[in-house]
Structure 1
Amino acid sequence: MPTLPRGRHGLSRAEVEAAQRERIFTAMAEAMAERGYVETPVAEVLRRAGVSRETFYQQFDSKQHCFLAAYDWATDALRTGFAAGLAAEGAPLERFATLLRTYLDALAEDPSRSRLFLVETWAAGADVLRRRLAVQHEAAVALAEVLGARDEQDRFACEALLAAVVQLVTAQVVLDEPAGLAALHPRLVAFAASLFPDR
């Protein structure tokens, strides 16, 4: 977790706040991986992040407001990997295989962030769930592009494939099984091939 230098430093206020937010988000993800959303008080996040209550409430109105921002932080990290997968060349199913590998690797690399992104959203309230649905819709649109969806039936198949991916990876994140995430890759690629046999 990045820490700020002690005493005088040349960092701007924006840089200081960005570093504090990163520490808060990391602390929230780690605390919730151990305790869950409901059982994680703001005080626990502050203790792990090493920031004051005043600093927290200068940036966030509440625990849920902080969680929404942390969800965006987790999403942005995955979106970066997603963009690399979208840029991959090859046939549609090859591009899907690359995209899926990038996604699974990103989840395995940061289990706490992955748990916040996939699991704790269900306990964090309606606003967070709406945000999650918007992110999933964005992913479904991107998947339709990768797999060359031609009509409504193809787009529905992409939504079904995405739902399968999300459900299966969430189970592995809950179980804290990085090897289980990797093992999903060939099975999900085969499932995609069964939905799009001509790609």
Structure 2
Amino acid sequence: MAEVVAEHGYAKTSVAQVLRRAGVSRESFYEQFANKEDCFLAAYDEAATVLLGIMAAGLAAPEPEADPAAAELPVLEQLSRVLRSYLAALAAEPAIARTFFVEVYAAGDAALRRRVDVQARFVDAMATLVDARDDTDRFAVEALVAAISALVTQRVCAGRFDELEALHGPVVGLVARVLGEEA
């Protein structure tokens, strides 16, 4: 679904195109999904789960026995690792990035509600990472996630996937300035 939607756009994607790309029968498709929207939402959910998993894996530090200093990474270093993993994953999977950041807006109200929910999950993950303690901290995290999303969306819309990883340094630098730390 993500590959076909990335090529043709959600509105122009047909179930027949998805069937051909996936190499499955119409019967198999409809055993799994009610319609194109249902399949899109499943692909969107899977992309969100994978991206959140990649972010978590980016945070995983080496075993403390191997490097005791790595057990307690500073918040900025943690954010840097998570962001680097996230941007690299998006750059490596342009179809997923296009589905996640662009085509979701063409897929209807259910997809937009899903997008809002997923963005809230990203905010929750980042708020936990930076130990957001109050509404002001949470708002700052929400603004950061929204800014990253907008920056990524601009590049994905323009097909500039090769520029995604270059966002890492400027975003980490911005956060460092806000936190009053060295990047």
CA contact (8 A) 2:55 2:86 kept: yes
1:61 corresponds in structure 2 to: 34
What amino acid is aligned across from residue 192 of structure 1 in structure 2? Answer: V
Map 1:28-39 → 2, pairs under 5 A: 28-39=1-12
CA contact (8 A) 1:86 1:99 kept: yes
Equivalent-residue separation in structure 1 for 2:42 and 2:122 (angstroms): 19
Equivalent-residue separation in structure 1 for 2:106 and 2:146 (angstroms): 19
What amino acid is aligned across from residue 52 of structure 2 in structure 1? Answer: R
Which 5+ residue runs of structure 1 have no aligned equivalent?
A: 1-27
Provide Cα deviations, 1:102-131, integer angstroms capped at 9, x if missing partner. 000110111101111111110111111111
Give yes or no for the alignment of 1:169 onto 2:171: no
Which 5+ residue runs of structure 2 have no aligned equivalent?
A: 62-71
Map 1:1-199 → 2, pairs under 5 A: 28-88=1-61, 89-197=72-180
The alignment partner of 1:155 has SS state of helix
CA contact (8 A) 1:29 1:112 kept: yes
The alignment partner of 2:164 has SS state of helix
CA RMSD, Structure 1 to Structure 2 (Å): 1.5
Deviation of 1:198 after TM superposition, in Å, equals 5.6
The higher-RCO structure (CA 8 Å, 6+ apart) is 2
Query: Runs of 4 or more off by more than 2 Å in structure 1?
Result: 85-89, 194-199
Deviates more, 1:160-169 or 1:51-60: 51-60
TM-score by length of structure 1 reads 0.81
CA contact (8 A) 1:157 1:195 kept: no
CA contact (8 A) 1:172 1:180 kept: yes
How many residues align? The count is 172
The alignment partner of 1:193 has SS state of helix
TM-score by length of structure 2 reads 0.88
